[in-house]
């Protein structure tokens, strides 16, 4: 389901009430045809109308609308009333000692609500009665203006230029205060919130919190899929401020494109919007960085080094590239490459692991070749030293051959 906003951005002019220092709360104001909010401290604006909530952050608008609840096959459509100011939000007080009231959408046995506080803009649902059917309780939400990813238990709403909003802190509980298992699921039209309510006493309440990024990272104009996968933190220049490594894909490289990793430096004011270093192997379908990155100080010089694997290199022999950090940042040229043994091994398909396995004070590297010898699989350990890792490895394990079909590297069509 997709829907279009019925208001211009110029209408996002709601009054922001200052607080007494306990909260960074903002009040919702009546503005035909709905309710408005502006919370500059959180870099969020919003408009709440019958067709959904429209949140603006960093110059982008994302539409969020609850359209059904139930149990999968037995979902019930949400036919809700226009938004209205509802009950006072707990522990939130505005400058004039007024309570900060929620925005509420009433719909039969389900009430959707929104409130603003220091952590971000919080959405919630109160389900008064257990819906019919079997299985988990499901609340289905459509999203417009952003793609949806679910990673590490968080909901990521992403535009073409990167992450727009992050949904986190998802929780659910029942009438007796019992905490219920709940999780996000990405769907074609948006996302679902699922709750294991098998032992719940109704009503049940559910809520996540939306927040904006302090910095928006944008890939170069030719880059696609910027931010794909989970960004990796590191301190590659040793200044004490976390840097971040972000993956993307350059479709203009060569005849079929190539994967790229960008290193953005941290500072006292946050992350730099532009990458300080770009890493790329330049060959199509190596899956450079596709299965995660590893960070270690391989030579003990106090700077984080970065290990990027590409299981498709060779063809599908697999390779790992080791890039050294320094006071100037990450080198764009690999100091060392580590290769698999034979075609089809897919050395580096699983994310590399780092540990000091021999307790000599230097980080060691463990890389798996998941398809070694007809899917038997093998892991290799490369010992660290003052000179870094060497190409010589020690085999640590070889699994017995499996009788079932193993997981395979992604097909050539993945970007």
> What pLDDT digit, counting tens, does each position of 328-374 carry?
999 999 998 988 888 888 888 888 889 888 888 888 889 988 888 77
Tokens 């032992």 locate to 199
The residue ranking higher by pLDDT, 213 or 201, is: 201
What average pLDDT does this structure show over 385-413? 50
Does residue 413 surpass a pLDDT of 60?
A: no
Say which residues have a Cβ less than 8 Å from residue 21's Cβ, sequence separation at least 6. Answer: none
Please state, in angstroms and rounded to a whole number, the distance separating the CA atoms of residues 231 and 44: 23
Does residue 202 surpass a pLDDT of 90?
A: yes
What average pLDDT does this structure show over 30-48? 66
The residue ranking higher by pLDDT, 281 or 117, is: 281
- pLDDT at position 129: 93
CA 375-381-383 angle, 5° bins:
165
Please state, in angstroms and rounded to a whole number, the distance separating the CA atoms of residues 256 and 409: 18
Please state, in angstroms and rounded to a whole number, the distance separating the CA atoms of residues 186 and 198: 22
What average pLDDT does this structure show over 97-110? 79
Token pair recorded at residue 305: 């080094």
- pLDDT at position 339: 87
Please state, in angstroms and rounded to a whole number, the distance separating the CA atoms of residues 131 and 105: 18
What average pLDDT does this structure show over 281-288? 81
Residue 378: pLDDT band by 50, 70, 90 thresholds?
confident
- pLDDT at position 31: 56
Which of 15-19, 33-37, 76-80, 381-385: highest mean pLDDT? 381-385
Alpha-carbon distance values, 95 to 83, 92, 290 (Å): 24, 10, 49
CA atoms within 13 A on the CB side of 351: 11
Does residue 326 surpass a pLDDT of 60?
A: yes
CA atoms within 13 A on the CB side of 98: 13
- pLDDT at position 118: 64
Does residue 17 surpass a pLDDT of 80?
A: no
The residue ranking higher by pLDDT, 30 or 403, is: 30
Please state, in angstroms and rounded to a whole number, the distance separating the CA atoms of residues 342 and 165: 43
Please state, in angstroms and rounded to a whole number, the distance separating the CA atoms of residues 48 and 32: 10
pTM of the predicted model, to two decimals? 0.52
CA atoms within 13 A on the CB side of 25: 24
Residues β-bridged to residue 382: 365
- pLDDT at position 11: 22
Please state, in angstroms and rounded to a whole number, the distance separating the CA atoms of residues 239 and 303: 9
Token pair recorded at residue 377: 């699989």
Please state, in angstroms and rounded to a whole number, the distance separating the CA atoms of residues 86 and 80: 14
What 3-state DSSP class applies to 159?
strand
Which of 11-20, 184-193, 291-300: highest mean pLDDT? 184-193
Mean pLDDT, all residues of the chain: 77
Token pair recorded at residue 18: 């200052």
- pLDDT at position 273: 79
Token pair recorded at residue 5: 């906003």
- pLDDT at position 20: 29
- H-helix or E-strand containing 144? strand 137-144
Percent of the chain with pLDDT over 90: 23
Distance of CA 268 to the CA centre of its chain: 24
Look at 14-18, 95-99, 222-226, 374-378 and tell me which has the smallest mean pLDDT.
Answer: 14-18
Say which residues have a Cβ less than 8 Å from residue 62's Cβ, sequence separation at least 6. Answer: 54, 55, 56, 143, 144, 145, 146, 157, 159, 164, 165
Listed residue (59, 60, 54) closest to 31, CA to CA: 54
Residue 18: pLDDT band by 50, 70, 90 thresholds?
very low
The residue ranking higher by pLDDT, 87 or 234, is: 234
Contact 362, 383 (CB under 8 A): yes
Contact 14, 29 (CB under 8 A): yes
- pLDDT at position 270: 75
- pLDDT at position 114: 87
What average pLDDT does this structure show over 284-312? 87
Residue 23: pLDDT band by 50, 70, 90 thresholds?
very low
- pLDDT at position 393: 53
The DSSP result for 33-81, as a single string, is TEEEEEEGGGTEEEEEETTEEEEEETTEEEEEEEEEEESGGG-EE---P
Task: Determine how many CB atoms are found less than 10 A away from the CB of residue 158.
Answer: 19
Contact 190, 148 (CB under 8 A): yes
Contact 276, 264 (CB under 8 A): yes
- pLDDT at position 274: 84
- pLDDT at position 248: 85
Contact 55, 46 (CB under 8 A): yes
Q: Per-residue pLDDT tens for 137-166?
A: 999 999 998 889 888 788 888 876 566 788
């Amino acid at each position: 389901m997709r829907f279009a906003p019925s208001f211009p951005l110029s209408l996002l002019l709601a009054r922001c009430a200052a607080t007494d220092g306990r909260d960074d709360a903002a009040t919702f104001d009546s503005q035909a045809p709905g309710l408005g909010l502006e919370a500059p401290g959180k870099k969020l604006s919003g408009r709440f109308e019958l067709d959904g909530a429209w949140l603006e952050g960093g110059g982008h608008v994302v539409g969020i609308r609850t359209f059904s609840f139930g149990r999968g096959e037995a979902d019930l459509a949400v036919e809700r009333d226009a938004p209205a100011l509802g009950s006072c939000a707990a522990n939130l007080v505005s400058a004039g000692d007024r309570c900060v009231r929620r925005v509420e959408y009433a719909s039969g046995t389900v009430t959707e609500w929104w409130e603003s506080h220091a952590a971000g803009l919080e959405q919630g649902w109160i389900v008064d009665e257990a819906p019919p059917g079997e299985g988990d309780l499901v609340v289905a939400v459509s999203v417009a203006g952003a793609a949806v990813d679910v990673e590490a238990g968080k909901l990521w709403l992403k535009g073409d230029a990167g992450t727009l909003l992050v949904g986190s802190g998802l929780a659910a509980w029942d009438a007796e205060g019992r905490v219920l298992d709940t999780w996000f699921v990405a769907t074609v039209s948006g996302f679902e919130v699922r709750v294991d309510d098998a032992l719940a006493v109704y009503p049940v309440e559910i809520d996540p919190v939306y927040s904006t990024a302090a910095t928006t990272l944008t890939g170069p104009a030719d880059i696609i899929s910027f931010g794909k996968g989970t960004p990796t933190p590191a301190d590659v220049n040793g200044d004490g401020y976390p840097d971040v490594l972000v993956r993307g894909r350059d479709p203009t490289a060569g005849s079929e494109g190539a994967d790229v990793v960008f290193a953005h430096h941290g500072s006292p004011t946050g992350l730099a919007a532009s990458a300080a270093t770009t890493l790329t192997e330049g060959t199509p379908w190596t899956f450079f960085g596709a299965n995660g990155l590893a960070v270690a100080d391989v030579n003990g010089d106090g700077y984080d080094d970065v290990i990027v694997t590409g299981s498709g290199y060779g063809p599908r022999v697999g390779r790992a590239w080791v890039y050294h950090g320094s006071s100037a940042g990450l080198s764009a040229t690999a100091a060392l490459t580590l290769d698999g043994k034979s075609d089809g091994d897919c050395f580096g398909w699983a994310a590399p692991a780092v540990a000091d396995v021999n307790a000599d004070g230097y980080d060691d590297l463990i890389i798996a070749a998941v398809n070694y010898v007809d899917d038997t699989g093998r892991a290799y350990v490369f010992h660290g030293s003052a000179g870094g890792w060497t190409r010589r490895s020690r085999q640590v394990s070889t699994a017995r051959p499996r009788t079932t079909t193993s997981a395979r590297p992604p097909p050539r069509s993945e970007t």
